[in-house]
Amino acid sequence: MSYVINSDCISCGSCQPECPVDAISQSANQYVIDAGKCIDCGACASTCPVTAIAQG
Amino acid 8 reads D
Give the per-residue pLDDT at 37: 97
Give helix then strand counts, H and E, for the chain: 1, 4
SS3 assignment, position 44: helix
pTM of the model: 0.91
**H/E run at residue 33:** strand 31-33
Give the per-residue pLDDT at 26: 96
Distance CA 13, CA 22 (A): 13
Could you confirm whether domain 3-55 is CATH 3.30.70.20?
yes
Q: What is the mean pLDDT of each run of 10 residues along the chain (56 residues)?
A: 95 97 95 97 97 96
Give the per-residue pLDDT at 1: 83
Distance CA 40, CA 11 (A): 21
Give the per-residue pLDDT at 8: 97
